[in-house]
Structure formats: structure tokens, C-alpha cells
Structure 1
């Protein structure tokens, strides 16, 4: 009919049919551009290889600056896409995480350090770990649930259950990485005001045996006793600590030394999960997510800039 506009037909189509029509139009538009497409693929591969070499060398030679820049991009890049694509749910969660974490970092960087700060740091990032771990596992189970077709029994569309699974898995991994990286920053700042860390290389305080060597408060539970809220830990060097204080020092920042005398200690009995341990596979997974979120958008932007400068579409 002469009065029917093609745009009206697109509005009547389902999302899948609309995508198929758009895909066919894209093929027609780019038909005969095989040479240009091959050039664009070569540019993409070359940029990825060069960027990977540069990032690896940067990480090996200037580890601290690489981690800092990566963390800033991990924090900023999702914000850009969130505002651009109107992902308000992610933005609200990102905002709450940023506000609380900023306050924790503020407390961890104060001098003199409050005696309550190490345990507060540990508790907050332990909470982030538990939530991100639970959400990530649920997301993974939802993806497996969909791949094996169990969604049919509950009359859930495959695309809906898969979307939920992917989103939850990303949330779990993203906030897990962010929490771990910010926790190490807090621990580095706390290291400058606790115990051993001074220019002379000698402990700056002398404490009795019933005082926690981190917070300076009295030990209420003996080492052999089991506490109602927290236990008391004695390291191999002989110094004793409140459980949350020593965890806030050793586990949050991956410190393998006593915060009072700097002696190397065995922390295996305190570490029970991947957040506390430094598993190689878990560390590689976190590095992959950092690359995907922080650097992949930058690399794709560079590729688009090169294509645009060369007149490629």
C-alpha cells in the first residue's frame, strides 16, 4: 500500500525480527567493501598486539603507576557508559559503593590512625567480597541454568534469564575487583602509621602482652579461648592482635609480615577463601576483567580514531 511507511513496518516487528532486518541492511550497505574490511581487521589486530606489549611492559617496569591508572579507569569508564546508555540501576549501585568506599579510604589515610580504622577497613571490604562473591555465583548459575534449558520448566525466556545471569556475573566480578584494589590502597596508607614502618627500622611503640599491637586496645580474650565476636591471634613472632585488627592488616592488603616487628609470618591458618588467598587462576581472572573494563574501551577508541583518520567506515 502506498500509504504504509517502511518505518511503520519496523515498529510492528519483534526485537529479533527488527535486528535481522537491520543486519541484512548492514550487509547490503557494506557489500563490495571486502578490501576495506580486511584493512580494518589488520588495524584492529595490530593495535591490540601493540597495546598488549605496551601494557605488559608498563606493568613490569612501573607497577604502582600502572595499577593506579587502571584503578581510576576501572572506576571512571563504567560511569561514562552508564550515563550514556542510561543504566540507572548500575549508576545507583556504583554511587553507593563510591560514597562508602571514599569514606573508608578517608579514614584509612588519616594521621594519626584511629584504633578502630583497621577493623573497619577489614569489615567493609569483607562485606564487599561476600556480596560480590554471592552475586557472581548466582549469575554463573543463572547462565548454566539457561544453557541447559532449565528456564523452559519455569516459563522464563532464554534471553531474559541469560541477561540476568550475565549482569549478575559482571556485577560480582566488577565490585570484587574494585573492592580488592581499594583495599590494598587502604592497607598501604595504614602501613605508614602502624608499628614497624618508620625510618629507623625499629618499632615506634612499646606495648605490654595484653595490648593489641595494631589498635593499642586491651585484649579481652586469651589466645587459647574462643571469642563470641572475634578471637585473639598470636603470630609466630609472639605479638598478639584482635582478630579483625590483624585481618585488616594482613589479609586486606596481602601483607605477609607482622605490623609491629615486620617479621615474616605464616598466615595460612587465617586464610579461608579466594579473597584472602592469592590464587594464580583467581588473580588472572581479575587481571582479565581489569583489562576488559579499563583498557579495552580505550583500545577500541584508538582503533576507531585510526579508521576515521584513514577514511575507513
Structure 2
């Protein structure tokens, strides 16, 4: 049996060599086109993100939100489609509440709670998926009499769900963060805030701070940044970790996220956020770049 498999593989390998014999120059040209396209596309995307960050994030978010809908309908992935529908409905309602004027005093905390829940669930799903894949690769599934393909499928699906909804939740949270904070008046992306901040007001949600910085709160504590501005702990964590902001909501001073993480285990959230940002580029723009490469090769007659 093994001899037959090796013989079939050898025959297929020889056929592949015969098919591509004499195409070395063409292959080298295709590799150069791929590298050049990746470099140029990376430069353009970086420049776009630096100069027009909001439009870059919006276009990327639309791609991430709409493209899976096409594939799920085409391939009949009803499980993913149902979860995508539930997430889209709830998130649409949250965005609707976040963009109302005047902004309800309960809206900011509702928005951050929803996206923080999405973030934590996606983080848990990603970790479970990764552990399931490692569990299968090291052969532990044999001890529990679980088929390798079943445990691997569960791991891949959980990892995909975790990373995908993690990216979506963070991007929507960033849009809502900007809009709510600018509506309240204590934050302005382009300049000085339109309202003055008093010592007992949180610049994220606009509500009073009832717990002093040195006191231990029953529900949540009060957090003070290095610029001496104080916030509700949930608000500033939602602003920095979920909303992807690394500046003070009032004065735009740099926030040291590592200093905010008293628990060493919490620092993994920063790394997870960086992973989601990298994945966003990979999923949203990599297929377009590959499509451009194929188009160039086709126009030049390369196969």
C-alpha cells in the first residue's frame, strides 16, 4: 500500500516537472511581480492609513463585514450566517444608539459593555480554538477517542470565529468611541475639546465620578492617567483596549497600556489586539492584492 502511494506521488511529481519545464524565467518573473506588488501595496496602504485613517478603517470594516456574507450564502454556511446575522442586528442597534443626538447618559456604558463582551467572547473562542488545534497536533485526541479531523475542525472553526468577531468588534467600537466622545464634547480628533472637563467628570461617558482615585470601589474603581485626568475604570479600559485608543480622551496624551495592566495575564489582551490588527490587514487586503497579481500576470500572458 505504501509502495503504491509513493509510486503515485513520484509519477505526479514527474508530471509536474514536465509541465513546468522551460518556464523558469516565467516563474522568476511572476515571483518578482508578486514581491513588487506586495511592497507597493504595503506602502500605499500605510500611507493611506497615516493620512486618512478614518476612511481606511471604514473601507476595511465594510470589506470585513460584507465579503463573508457572499461566501456564506454561496457555500451554504448557515451556522456562520446565523451568528453573523445576530451580531449584525445587535451591533446595528448599538451603533444606532451611539449616533443619536442628544446622547443618552446610559448609552456609552451600554456600548462599551457590548463590545467588551464581544471582545472577551472572541478572545475565549480564539484561545479554545488554538488549544484544540495544538491538542490535535500533539495527538492528545487519541486518549479521548476523538477523531483527528473532528477536533481539528472544531479548533479551526473556533479560532476563525474568535479572530473574525474580535476584529469586527474592535473596529465598530472604535467608530462608536470617536462619535460618542465627540458628541459629549470632551474629545475632538482634530483639536481642542469643545467643553471644559471638571475633576469629577469622566471624559469618556460624561458622567460623574463617585469614587476617589485612592478608594476601592464596590463595582468599579477610578483610574488616573499620567496626565492627571481621571476616568471610570470601565470607561478608560473600554476606550483604550476595546476602542483601540492609546491617548487620553481629553488631552490626547499618550497612554501607557502596560501600566494599566496590573495583572500580568491582562497584558495578553494588548498582544491579542495587535494580532487582530494584523489579521484585519491579512483578511481584508491580501485577497485584493493577490487578485491584482493575477490580473497583472494574465495581462502579460504569464501562467
TM-score of the two chains, using structure 1 as the length reference = 0.73
SS where residue 301 of structure 2 aligns?
coil
**1:238-293 CA distances to partner (integer Å, 9 max, x unpaired)?**
77655444544455435566656778887767546899869875454223211221
How big is the shift at 1:174? 1.7
Matched-pair contact (CA < 8 Å) for 1:118–1:244: no
Matched, 1:63 2:46: no
SS where residue 214 of structure 1 aligns?
coil
**Whole-Å separation in 2 of the counterparts to 1:101 and 1:15:** 51
Which of 106, 122, 125 pairs up with 1:135?
125
Matched-pair contact (CA < 8 Å) for 2:246–2:254: yes
Matched-pair contact (CA < 8 Å) for 1:194–1:260: no
How big is the shift at 1:179? 1.2
**1:128-183 CA distances to partner (integer Å, 9 max, x unpaired)?**
11101111111111111111111122232323322221221122112112211211
User: Structure 1 residues 188 and 203, CA, compared in 2 at 3 Å: closer, same or farther?
Assistant: closer
**Whole-Å separation in 2 of the counterparts to 1:200 and 1:43:** 39
How big is the shift at 1:24? 9.4
Q: Which residue does the alignment assign to 1:255?
A: 245
SS where residue 192 of structure 1 aligns?
helix
SS where residue 101 of structure 2 aligns?
coil
Higher helix share: 2
Deviates more, 1:228-237 or 1:196-205: 196-205
**Whole-Å separation in 2 of the counterparts to 1:138 and 1:191:** 34
User: Structure 1 residues 196 and 26, CA, compared in 2 at 3 Å: closer, same or farther?
Assistant: same
SS where residue 290 of structure 1 aligns?
helix
How big is the shift at 1:21? 11
**Whole-Å separation in 1 of the counterparts to 2:279 and 2:189:** 37
**1:22-55 CA distances to partner (integer Å, 9 max, x unpaired)?**
9998888767766555544443333223322322
How big is the shift at 1:295? 0.7
Q: Could you say which structure has the larger radius of gyration?
A: 1
Deviates more, 1:12-21 or 1:110-119: 12-21
**1:196-244 CA distances to partner (integer Å, 9 max, x unpaired)?**
3479988767899877666566666676665554445566777765544
How big is the shift at 1:123? 0.5
Matched-pair contact (CA < 8 Å) for 2:119–2:242: no
Give the length in aligned residue pairs: 303
SS where residue 266 of structure 2 aligns?
coil
SS where residue 223 of structure 2 aligns?
strand
Matched-pair contact (CA < 8 Å) for 1:128–1:179: yes
**Whole-Å separation in 2 of the counterparts to 1:130 and 1:106:** 22
Matched-pair contact (CA < 8 Å) for 1:251–1:276: no
Q: Which residue does the alignment assign to 2:116?
A: 126
Q: Which residue does the alignment assign to 2:16?
A: 26
Matched-pair contact (CA < 8 Å) for 2:241–2:270: no
How big is the shift at 1:104? 1.3
Matched-pair contact (CA < 8 Å) for 1:136–1:168: yes
**Whole-Å separation in 2 of the counterparts to 1:175 and 1:15:** 41
Matched, 1:88 2:94: no
**Whole-Å separation in 2 of the counterparts to 1:73 and 1:44:** 22
Matched, 1:216 2:195: no
Q: Which runs of 5+ in 1 are unaligned?
A: 1-10
User: Structure 1 residues 150 and 189, CA, compared in 2 at 3 Å: closer, same or farther?
Assistant: same
How big is the shift at 1:303? 2.1
User: Structure 1 residues 249 and 310, CA, compared in 2 at 3 Å: closer, same or farther?
Assistant: closer
Q: Which runs of 5+ in 2 are unaligned?
A: none
SS where residue 241 of structure 1 aligns?
strand
**Whole-Å separation in 2 of the counterparts to 1:70 and 1:304:** 21
How big is the shift at 1:15? 15
Matched-pair contact (CA < 8 Å) for 2:49–2:56: yes
